[in-house]
Amino acid sequence: MTKNKTAMPSILIALGGNALNVVETPSTSLKEEFNVAYKSVANIVDLIEEGYSKIVLTHGNGPQVGRVFLQQELTKNEFPRQTTLDVCVADTQGRIGYALQNVFANICKERKIDKKAYTVVTQVLVDANDQAFKNPTKPVGSFYSEEEAKKLAAERGWIVKQEGKKGYRRVVPSPVPIDIIEKDIFKTFVKNNLIAIGGGGGGIPVVLNAKGVLEGVDAVIDKDRTSALLANEIGIDVFVILTEADYVCLKFHTPEERALKNVTVDELEKYYNAGEFPAGSMGPKVEAAINFLRNGGKRAIIANLFHLKDALAGKTGTQISL
């Protein structure tokens, strides 16, 4: 039974990779993916019991889209390869959206809550002339050793880059999102207190071709950038980015490390411009929070996935204000 509360803010929750990712082994089953999703979604259903009714979920797909694309590459000699990254993103939106809405419905049924979630296959407009197409930087898929990465680069024409001590990953273009094609659907969902799942993996990247027709492109858009844009376009009050970290930190992984608990957007932007947040980890999340607040948002939070309720109550996580 949900609590009778009024004037609760609308929220968009961007789920990080740890909310969905299962370490795959030969014995890994699809059931394990649903078990991971269940733990993540249970925290969101907690909010419904607190009285929140206007909720939009977005999610990443980095590991999943990389695996889908690799499957295509590995079978290209057996079957004609027809899948580019835009279609791979669409595939993962369906798979992950299914898992999320399935466990959401089951949890609500267990708790006797009359709510369901609905997945929106989401296209996101980008500029065909975006410089990202000339300088791929977005990591996708699995980590490889230096030897494996060089072999894959030579055999498949991939661009690979080292990502810290974890190893090497394939990198692809990551253009800036300009518009959410299905934004009106999300507005309708929010207006009617329906739970929407969308913007998966940053959305399916599309451009307007010379004939003014939408056309998919071979790229992956940053999930947090798309989430911030979607939140602004549909008038969301609070933007929550969930990740593995409890807080955004200055001097990360140094003896001078310091957690940012309460910070204004002006202060955070100064730290961002000073290079405090690495591009491959916290940087895009901080950038997205800044963009959301600069474009009409009221409050942004970056917090640990499993501390969602406390983060919204201001008890944990990096709280970013105007």
Q: Which of the given ranges, 141-155, 182-196, 279-293, has the highest pLDDT on average? A: 182-196
pTM value is 0.90
Task: Give the residue from 238, 239, 267, 261 showing the smallest Cα distance to 249.
Answer: 261
* Nearest alpha-carbon partner for 283 in 273, 293, 296: 273
Amino acid letter, 174? S
C-alpha to C-alpha distance for 111 and 100, rounded to whole angstroms: 17
CATH ID of 1-127+180-225, from 3.40.1160.10, 3.40.50.10310, 3.10.20.30, 3.40.50.720: 3.40.1160.10
Rounded-to-10 torsion of CA 199, 122, 211, 225: -10
Cα–Cα distance, 96 to 34 (Å, whole number): 9
Catalytic residues: 17-18, 138, 223, 285
Residues in the chain: 322
Instruction: Check whether 18 has a pLDDT greater than 80.
Output: no
Q: Which residues lie closer than 8 Å to 247 by C-beta, 6 or more apart? A: 259, 260, 261, 302, 303, 316, 317, 318
Q: What pLDDT, in 10s, does the model give residues 254-305?
A: 999 999 999 999 999 999 999 999 887 899 999 999 999 999 999 999 999 9
CATH number given to 237-322 = 3.40.1160.10
Domains 1-127+180-225 and 237-322 share a fold: yes
| pLDDT, greater one: 158 or 115 | 115
**Biggest distance spanned by C-alpha atoms of the chain:** 60
Q: What are the extents of the domains in the chain? A: 1-127+180-225, 237-322
Q: Where are the beta strands (DSSP E) in the chain?
A: 11-15, 55-59, 117-119, 123-125, 138-144, 159-162, 168-172, 179-180, 195-197, 204-208, 214-216, 238-243, 248-250, 258-260, 262-264, 299-304, 318-321
**Which residue shows structure tokens 């407009």?**
125
